[in-house]
Amino acid sequence: MEIGIVGKPNVGKSTFFKALTLKDAEIANFPFTTIKPNIGVGYVRVRCVDTEFGVKCKPKNSFCIDGNRFIPVKMIDVAGLVPGAHEGKGLGNQFLDDLRRADVLIHVVDISGKTNEIGEATENYNPERDIKFLEDEIDYWFFDVIKRNWSKISAKIRHGGKDLVKELTNQLAGLSINETHIKSAIKDTQLDEKCNDEDIKKFSVSLRKVSKPILIAANKIDIDDKGNYERLKDRYDMIPVCSEAELALRQATISNIISYIPGNSGFKILKNINEKQRNALNFIRERILNVYNSTGAQECLNVAVFSILKRIVVYPVENENKLTDKNGNVLPDAYILPNGSTALDLAYKIHTEIGDRFIGAIDCKTKKKIGREYLLKNGDIIKIIVGR
């Protein structure tokens, strides 16, 4: 699973990415600082199941702080997009190809309205315009990809007796688009092999909505002095964010200046600091955390993965009584799986060989034996039984 970060230049995409991944990304107050995509690992946060069992976990593929399990997700930060990118404006829309494998997009917007459409400083810009133009540019990207392949696809259907859904699924698999997405968009737009450009455009819009849903990160909430967030929040899937604050809190945590768990509504100062540092931390506490309950950055990842993509977290173990792997690590791994995944899907996710040799599984909470078709639930702890 991958999360793509998109938006126009200078809105704080790289700051948001860096805060969540702590990977070096270049940040600067001018447009097009990022050209090559930054790829990194962020973490979603869930209540660890170890708390339910009164055991202490020993994570391997994730980490746990005070009963909060942080599970890795891949993130990609790309260059800024400007209106007309599909016609070559700005850096064009070629780099959207870096987002092929994204399952969900987080659109970082400067909610304060202090960045114009091409990424320069301004006042009183309406950030709602960005929401529309960004959707348009992604639609054009989809349209271009489908259009490029269209004559091949329609020829195969007309002369080769091939099936439209299958052909589109094959052609678009590289865009992280599956058969369910395609069926839904065909049903929605009545696409058939005789369609024209206008029909393909409509199909692209519908396909984008199901295959690359967009969450809006209303960034720079700290300087939103025009009340844009309050005006727009009920109309969109939108989370108030201060990426700069999240980055500062994470860096202060690494330097042992504060203790802070990403996503929390507060932090503790651990040592004597100078007045400048104290003022910066007080600002974050009073103007961000006390008002919005968090910096919003962690929440964006959680909402994207669990509310929008409806993923679940499952813990595979090898010993159903001790909840350990074969080396005695308690609840070592936490996997993020699509809702509707089965016990067999989990086995294949662990290893192809485990999937091939699957003969059954145990639900470690009830100790009941379950079969390959068992539908996994969020928080399940599962032992897979393999044959020889």
Ligand X SMILES: Nc1nc2c(ncn2[C@@H]2O[C@H](COP(=O)(O)OP(=O)(O)OP(=O)(O)O)[C@@H](O)[C@H]2O)c(=O)[nH]1
Stretch that binds ligand X, among 239-247, 329-337, 364-372, 376-384 (CB under 6 A): 239-247
Question: Which CB atom, from 263 or from 332, has the smaller least distance to ligand X?
Answer: 263
Q: What span, in angstroms and rounded, lies between the C-alpha atoms of 199 and 192?
A: 9
Site for Mg ion in 129-168 (CB under 5 A): none
Residue-wise DSSP of 119-154: S-B-SS--THHHHHHHHHHHHHHHHHHHHHHHHHHH
Rounded CA-CA distance 316/382 in Å is: 5
- Selected binder of ligand X within 130, 139, 224, 244 (CB under 6 A): 244
Given candidates 6, 21, 31, 363, which one binds ligand X under the rule CB under 6 A? Answer: 31
Which CB atom, from 248 or from 334, has the smaller least distance to ligand X? Answer: 248
CA distance 127 to 21: 26
Ranges within 26-85 binding Mg ion (CB under 5 A): 33-34
Least distance to ligand X, CB of residue 279, Å = 15
What is the smallest separation between the CB atom of 193 and ligand X, expressed in angstroms? Answer: 39
Quickly list DSSP for 141-200: HHHHHHHHHHHHHHHHHHHH---HHHHHHHHHGGGT--HHHHHHHHHHHT--TT--HHHH
2-31 mask for Mg ion (x: CB under 5 A)? -----------xx-----------------
Output 34 or 211, the one with its CB closest to Mg ion: 34
Candidate residues 27, 186, 205, 354; the one interacting with ligand X per rule CB under 6 A: 27
Angle between helices 179-189 and 164-172 (to 10 degrees): 130
Q: d(Cα 194, Cα 154) in Å, to the nearest integer?
A: 8
Residue 149 in contact with ligand X, rule: CB under 6 A: no
Q: Is 83 in the site for ligand X (CB under 6 A)?
A: no
- Show the binding pattern over residues 196-225: x = contacts ligand X (CB under 6 A), - = does not: -----------------------xx-xx--
Residue corresponding to tokens 């669990």 = 306
**Residues 6+ away with beta carbon under 8 Å from 87:** none
Residue 32 binds which entry of Mg ion, ligand X, none, CB below 5-8 Å type-dependent: ligand X
Which residue from 1, 4, 6, 13 is in contact with ligand X, where contact means CB under 6 A?
Answer: 13
SS3 68: strand
Beta bridge partners of residue 65, listed in sequence order:
68
Q: Which partner, ligand X, Mg ion, none, binds residue 85 by CB below 5 to 8 Å per kind?
A: none
Angle at 377 between CA 373 and CA 382, to 5 degrees: 70
Interaction site with ligand X (CB under 6 A)? 7, 9-15, 27-29, 31-34, 79-80, 219-220, 222-223, 242-244
